[in-house]
């Protein structure tokens, strides 16, 4: 597959009124132009790396967000991102969470690398092409395909036909991905996706997983791989204080050993792994993405409409079944049967999937804007932290234990719009554009100081900025 040149990319300013800006901040047009420049710098031809130095490969849900942003510039280039990712799909239908680059320009230093995963060595279902990991990530891809189609439908006839033809070509892979999730990751049909590792949730060290990870006990003789992530961030003045701890990483790495021992077989993994959790946020994303793909199938006369709607209905009900009186959702530890009620951003999952009656939906929106979340008086920008500042597990700088993440803000804006809460979505959108007007496109942000944290420029943050700043 050949990447589409950027020369034909189009940028048009948002039609919404100007949002308040911090002094010296970029305008929406300037933010979008700088975001496009950042994405171009991370472009490797057939794919966009998540962040050079720290994340020099292709990540699954990063790629979906990147495609959402690229759709604002070039639907053709956005489709190349999806084609490259899906070319690494496993025979089971799983889309792996990492697709490894060739390793040029120092990009082979990421750990755990292909040798640690050894997917092709132990599992016949691994793809024959690029090396991959043996895990998945949240299925945002249906939202990306919907955004790409929307942009293509407004393009010139030749571009529109080319884009719809490419979506048709991708359709069997997209259906296989959703079937894998519905069948292999929810065999009991409870409407909740099973994950085998916190990495599969995308929220690696969230307090959501503290209790399940306590059961992951590496043997004394286990030697973890080096912490390349800390070394990469030291150059930016961050380092260990912004990342999961060494204890976290020893557990992450031991689970890879367990997965290899299970030969990446879903049936064996469900019986043997030390970490097995029903992930409410990934389930909500799956429900919403299935609905988005159903609309694509309907418009393009593609197969699977009823199947996708059935997936959406099942997982919407599954998410709703975990909620408390205020609509706040919870994960389930499948090894113990324990419901994991943590004050993390994942509790707002029903705003993505729907399924709450209006009164409880309103209470959940009120919670989102309460002093425990976006209304906390110490926030630099009124956006949801990854963990509530009122939680004893809150850490404002350490990865998913407190910082604000722009893609998570995007998901909530998208969910609020889908849920019939446009005013709430507009409030978050204005605050998100204010945060992103620093032009740094950081991986995440300190909720109290507004400091840019983690890798930068992070491709999915730049993509979110593009999508929020400009209409198609």
Active site residues: 204, 443
Phi and psi of 387, rounded to 5°?
A: -135, 140
Residue 14's SS3 state is coil
Instruction: Find all residues with CB under 8 Å of 385, minimum gap 6, and list them.
Output: 345, 373, 376, 379, 394, 396, 402, 403, 404, 447
Sign (positive or negative) of CA dihedral 133, 138, 139, 145? negative
CA distance 120 to 472: 41
DSSP-assigned letter for residue 20: P
Alpha carbon distances (Å) from 432 to 145, 298, 416, 445, 465: 23, 32, 14, 11, 8
How many Cβ atoms sit within 10 Å of the Cβ of residue 459?
32
* CA of residue 341 relative to chain centroid, distance: 21
Cα–Cα distance, 249 to 243 (Å, whole number): 10
Angle, nearest 10°, between helix axes 157-184 and 141-153?
A: 160
Q: Check: CB of residue 301 under 8 Å from CB of residue 242.
A: no
What are the φ and ψ backbone dihedral angles of 94, each rounded to 5 degrees?
-65, 135
Q: Could you say which DSSP state residue 333 is in?
A: E
Alpha-carbon gap, residue 445 to 435, rounded angstroms = 9
What string of DSSP letters covers 346-374?
GGGTHHHH----HHHHHHHHHHHTSTTTT
Separation CA 399–CA 382 (nearest Å): 18
- N residues, the chain: 472
Q: Which of 269, 271, 244 is nearest to 257 (CA)?
A: 269
Q: What angle do CA 412, 413, 419 make, to 5 degrees?
A: 85
In whole angstroms, give the CA distance from residue 69 to residue 461. 9
Give me Rg for the CA atoms of the chain: 21
**Burial profile 342-371: b = 16 or more Cβ within 10 angstroms, e = fewer:** bbbbbbbbbbbbbbbeeebbebbbebbeee
**Residue 106 to residues 47, 52, 53: CA-CA distances in angstroms?**
17, 9, 8
């Amino acid at each position: 597959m050949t990447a589409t040149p950027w020369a034909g990319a189009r940028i048009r300013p948002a039609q919404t009124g100007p949002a308040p800006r911090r002094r010296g901040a970029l305008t929406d047009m300037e933010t979008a132009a700088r975001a496009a420049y950042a994405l171009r710098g991370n472009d490797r031809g057939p794919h966009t790396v998540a962040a050079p130095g720290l994340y020099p490969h292709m990540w699954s849900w990063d790629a979906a967000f990147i495609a959402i942003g690229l759709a604002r510039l070039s639907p053709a280039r956005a489709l190349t991102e999806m084609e490259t990712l899906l070319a690494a799909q496993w025979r089971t239908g799983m889309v792996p969470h990492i697709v490894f680059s060739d390793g040029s320009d120092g990009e082979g230093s990421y750990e755990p690398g292909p040798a640690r995963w050894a997917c092709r060595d132990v599992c016949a279902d691994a793809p024959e092409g690029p090396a991959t990991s043996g895990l998945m990530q949240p299925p945002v891809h249906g939202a990306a395909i919907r955004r790409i189609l929307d942009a293509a439908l407004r393009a010139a006839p030749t571009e529109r036909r080319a884009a719809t033809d490419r979506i048709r070509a991708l359709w069997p892979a997209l259906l296989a991905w959703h079937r894998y999730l519905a069948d292999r990751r929810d065999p009991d049909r409870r409407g909740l996706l099973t994950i085998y590792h916190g990495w599969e949730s995308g929220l690696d060290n969230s307090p959501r997983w503290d209790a399940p990870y306590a059961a992951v006990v590496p043997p004394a003789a286990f030697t973890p791989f080096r912490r390349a992530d800390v070394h990469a961030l030291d150059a930016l003045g961050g380092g260990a204080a912004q990342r999961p701890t060494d204890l976290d990483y020893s557990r992450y790495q031991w689970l890879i050993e367990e997965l290899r021992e299970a030969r990446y077989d879903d049936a064996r993994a469900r019986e043997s792994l030390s970490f097995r959790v029903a992930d409410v946020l990934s389930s909500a994303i799956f429900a919403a993405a299935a609905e988005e793909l159903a609309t694509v199938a309907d418009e393009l006369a593609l197969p699977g409409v009823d199947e996708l709607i059935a997936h959406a209905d099942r997982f919407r009900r599954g998410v709703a079944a975990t909620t408390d009186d205020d609509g706040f959702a919870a994960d389930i530890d499948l090894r113990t049967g324990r419901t994991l009620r943590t004050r993390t951003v994942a509790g707002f999952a029903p705003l993505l999937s729907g399924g709450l009656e209006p009164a409880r939906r309103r209470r959940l929106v009120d919670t989102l804007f309460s002093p425990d979340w976006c209304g906390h008086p110490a926030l630099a920008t009124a956006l949801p932290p990854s963990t509530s500042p009122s939680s004893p597990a809150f850490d404002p700088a350490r990865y998913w234990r407190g910082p604000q993440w722009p893609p998570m803000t995007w998901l909530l804006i998208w969910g609020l719009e889908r849920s019939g809460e446009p005013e709430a979505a507009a409030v978050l959108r204005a605050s998100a554009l204010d945060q992103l007007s620093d032009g740094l496109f950081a991986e995440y942000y300190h909720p109290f100081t507004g400091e840019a944290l983690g890798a930068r420029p992070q491709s999915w943050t730049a993509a979110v900025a593009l999508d929020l700043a400009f209409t198609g």
